[in-house]
Amino acid sequence: MNNIKRIFLWLIGIIAFSNLYSQQPEWEKYWNQGTAYTQPKNRCELSLFNFSSYGLSDNLEISAHPLMFFLMPQVQVKAGWGEKSGVLLATEHGILYPTFFMRTVATKGIGGLISSEFSIPQMVGIYNRIIVSHSPFNNAIISAHGGITFSVNSETMDPGSSIDLPIIYPRLAVFYNQPAFDAGVDFRGKFTPVFGWLLSVENFILSGTAYNWFLQNKGVLAYTSRKEKLRIEAGYKLFYGRYPSGPQWHLLPDINLTFGIGK
């Protein structure tokens, strides 16, 4: 109990301390993935291991994953719908084409994540998400989101062709059973103008299968340059999932490097 009190007091202290030091106006607009904020027009954020995004206008941004794009093309847009009573609203709409990736790894020998006995049909996943954000303090944003994903398959997928790995399984599960739902909370802020933190919890809930719940918790510390040109994140990702083989936990490192271009 004493430990809980101590942690709570530390959190209050950190938030109070960071209130004194983080006086960066409109910092919410940058590095805002997972929030209802959209990037300023013409600003581009290029990320190595996460989505890269570009501000088409002050309330519309487009994003795609730089590394995975050529294997599993995925494009999404985020539209900001304004603020009401201190709560910012945005919606996110995306499309995912996994066929090329799955066909590539459905091979014999090394790299065969899927058995070559399975044929992979043409498939498209479409997702829509609503995001709300609120700033309870000067230096913190809390966001919540909920979404639904559908898939359109030219043929039914054989359950034996699933890739039963963390990260991959929950995201491709919609092509086997649909729809899939996701919901999560994102809490982020700044200790100082250049150092910040991010904690998030993401749930994936699948329909039509017993292997239907996946949870992802992320915690990172972030360094952001004063002119918002560079952000470095390092932390962890903790996964829990009910896979076809049974419940499993995975703890993975989370490292990301993002470059900001434009204001």
Residue 252 engages another protein in binding (rule: CB under 8 A)? yes
> Can you read off the two tokens belonging to residue 3?
């430990």
**Which residue, 71 or 142, has its beta carbon nearer to another protein?**
71
- Single-letter residue type at 217: N
> Six-digit token pair at 261?
């271009």
Q: Considering the complex, state which of residue 208 and residue 244 has its C-beta at the smaller distance from another protein.
A: 244
Q: Which of 156, 157, 146 is CA-nearest to residue 180?
A: 146
Task: Tell me how many degrees the CA angle 132-133-135 measures, rounded to the nearest 5.
Answer: 155
Candidate segments 85-93, 105-113, 119-127, 197-205, binder of another protein by CB under 8 A: 105-113
Compute the least distance from the CB of residue 165 to another protein, in Å.
Answer: 6
The residue behind tokens 């599993």 is 72
Closest CA to 23 of 136, 195, 142, 138: 138
- The contact mask relative to another protein for 66-85 (x = CB under 8 A, - = no) is -x---x--------------
Under the criterion CB under 8 A, does residue 255 sit at the interface with another protein?
no
Nearer to another protein, 106 or 131 (CB): 106
CB 156 within 8 A of CB 126: no
Query: Which range, of 35-43, 78-86, 101-109, 219-227, touches another protein by CB under 8 A?
Result: 101-109
Q: Binding of another protein at residue 114 (CB under 8 A)?
A: yes
248 binds another protein (CB under 8 A): yes
CB of residue 19 vs another protein: minimum separation in angstroms? 36
Question: Cβ closer to another protein: 86 or 253?
Answer: 253
100 binds another protein (CB under 8 A): no
Paired tokens of 36: 């209802």
Evaluate whether 182 touches 203 at the Cβ level (below 8 Å).
yes
The whole-angstrom separation of Cα 38 and Cα 54 is: 9
Token pair 């829509």: residue: 128
- Contact (Cβ atoms closer than 8 angstroms) between residue 236 and residue 200: no
Q: How far is the CB of 120 from another protein (least distance, A)?
A: 11
Among 142-150, 158-166, 177-185, 221-229, the segment contacting another protein (CB under 8 A): 158-166
Contact assessment for residue 131 and residue 89, using Cβ atoms and an 8 Å cutoff: yes
Exactly one of 116, 119, 207, 225 binds another protein (CB under 8 A); which one? 116
Binding site for another protein (CB under 8 A): 67, 71, 104-106, 108-118, 160-161, 163-167, 244-246, 248-253
